[in-house]
């Protein structure tokens, strides 16, 4: 009788442990959007700003296509916050425009042609 209880208790604990482990696995979402910039210095700044946001796992910006690819946990952050953060350091995105003051403080090689 005691052996059956021990086996049942062990099986129950193992089941709960597995369910807890699966419940903690974040659901990553992937997204792409446009970010204006020019050079490798821009690339470093844009990717660093995005990666510093809690919930962002990866951020890669392509200098030639100006496309940003991000992987993030939507229960922690969202696309709007990611794009706002990038705009706050001087780079226009599809949804958010950097302020003129921040844009004007970019290094001369990082100043891209802005849409009006």
Q: Say if residue 116's pLDDT is above 60.
A: yes
Domain edges within the chain: 29-110
Q: Using alpha carbons, select from 78, 80, 84, 79 the residue that is nearest to residue 97.
A: 84
80 token code pair: 């709007």
Output phi, psi for 101, to 5 deg: -60, -45
Q: What is the pLDDT of residue 4?
A: 63
Q: Is 56 helix (H, G, I), strand (E, B) or coil?
A: strand
pLDDT in tens, 22-71: 556 779 999 999 999 999 999 999 999 999 999 999 999 999 999 999 99
Q: What is the pLDDT of residue 16?
A: 56
- Answer yes or no: are the C-beta atoms of 81 and 95 closer than 8 Å: no
Alpha helices in the chain (DSSP H): 2-23, 40-51, 79-88, 100-104
Q: What is the side-by-side order of every strand in the sheet holding 56-61?
A: 29-34, 67-72, 56-61
CATH of 29-110, one of 3.20.20.100, 3.40.1410.10, 3.40.50.300, 3.30.70.100: 3.30.70.100
């Amino acid at each position: 009788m005691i052996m059956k209880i021990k086996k049942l208790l062990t099986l129950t604990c193992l089941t709960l442990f597995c369910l807890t482990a699966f419940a903690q696995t974040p659901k990553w979402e992937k997204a792409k959007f446009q970010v204006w910039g020019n050079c490798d210095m821009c690339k470093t700044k844009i990717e660093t700003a995005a990666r510093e946001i809690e919930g962002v796992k990866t951020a890669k910006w392509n200098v030639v296509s100006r496309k940003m690819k991000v992987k993030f946990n939507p229960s922690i952050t969202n696309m709007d916050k990611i794009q706002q953060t990038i705009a706050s350091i001087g780079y226009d995105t599809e949804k958010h425009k950097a302020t003129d003051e921040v844009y004007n403080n970019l290094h001369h090689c990082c100043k891209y042609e802005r849409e009006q």
